[in-house]
Structure 1
Amino acid sequence: MNPTGQRIILAIAALWGLAGVVMLASGSHPPQTGILAIGGQFLLFHAVAVIAILSTSLISGWRRALPMALMLTGSGLFAFEIIIHATTGVVLPALAPIGGGVAILGWLALVIAPLMSSK
């Protein structure tokens, strides 16, 4: 992965961390207690995981890019649905489960990646 791609991924992960902290802070006050905190935790956990993946030399190429892409996309979709629901009351019923499923696939890709031969 080239340095520009790494910077973009790091910036997105940092944005997810920022949004996660904002959601946690907002979710600690009624009436949004709970739902925003869950979305914030989801973003923060995945932001940290992506930064760790970005920092490792144990995996490279698509084996490194795929888990990061799935985690950022999945956690972003999940949190987006939470934000919409908490702020407008509108429920986008498929978005959170799809986002969660995509994030789970990211973790599965990360389980498999270091076990695969790079040759």
Structure 2
Amino acid sequence: MTGFDRALLALGALAGLLGVAASAAAAHIPGTDSLKTAAQFLLFHAPAIIVLVALTATGITHRLTTRVAAAALVMGLALFSGDLSLRAMHGIPLFPMAAPAGGLLLMAGWLLAALAAFVPTGARQAAPGR
């Protein structure tokens, strides 16, 4: 496992932690529907990032494509959930169009995750029955 993989793994776990924290905050602060959405996105994507990092170690998927998919999910979460959270807690955006840009990165990450399953890995496959 590379240092980049370890960083992605840590960021995936951090997304889970922040998702729990944002869920708790949203439960106690009235009128924070966008914070609930940010929490849901963090909690839904955290396991996906961790699984993508694990897949890079197995060789089942194309490693570079899988790493880029995980990185796109991390960056997309930072923009999308970061923007929604700042708006909910402080009434200000991260920057103009941050949430839509994050959403596009999230979609790209999922598309790359799907493509990673079909990009040849270069690993030799044993013949059936061997």
Q: Please, what TM-score do these two structures have when normalized by structure 2?
A: 0.83
* Structure-to-structure mapping, 1:66-77, within 5 angstroms: 66-77=68-79
1:45 and 1:74 map into 2 onto residues whose CA distance is: 13
1:64-106 Cα distance to aligned partner (Å, 9 max, x none)? 2110010000011101101110111123440101101100000
Unaligned runs of 5+ in 2: 123-130
After superposing the two structures, state which structure 1 stretch, 31-40 or 12-21, moved more: 31-40
Larger Rg: 2
How far apart are residue 60 of structure 1 and its match? 3.9
| Preserved contact between residue 26 and residue 32 of structure 1 (Cα < 8 Å) | no
| Preserved contact between residue 80 and residue 100 of structure 2 (Cα < 8 Å) | yes
Partner of 2:13 in structure 1?
A: 14
Unaligned runs of 5+ in 1: none
After superposing the two structures, state which structure 1 stretch, 26-35 or 46-55, moved more: 26-35
| Preserved contact between residue 26 and residue 36 of structure 2 (Cα < 8 Å) | yes
Whether 1:99 and 2:106 are equivalent positions in the alignment is no
Once superposed, which parts of structure 1, at least 4 consecutive aligned residues long, lie more than 6 Å away?
Answer: none
After superposing the two structures, state which structure 1 stretch, 71-80 or 56-65, moved more: 56-65
RMSD across aligned positions (CA):
1.5
* Structure-to-structure mapping, 1:31-110, within 5 angstroms: 31-56=30-55, 57=58, 58-91=60-93, 92-110=95-113
Give the SS at the match of 1:115.
Answer: coil
| Preserved contact between residue 26 and residue 35 of structure 2 (Cα < 8 Å) | yes
1:98 and 1:35 map into 2 onto residues whose CA distance is: 16
| Preserved contact between residue 26 and residue 32 of structure 2 (Cα < 8 Å) | yes
Q: Quote the sequence identity (%).
A: 33
How far apart are residue 37 of structure 1 and its match? 1.0
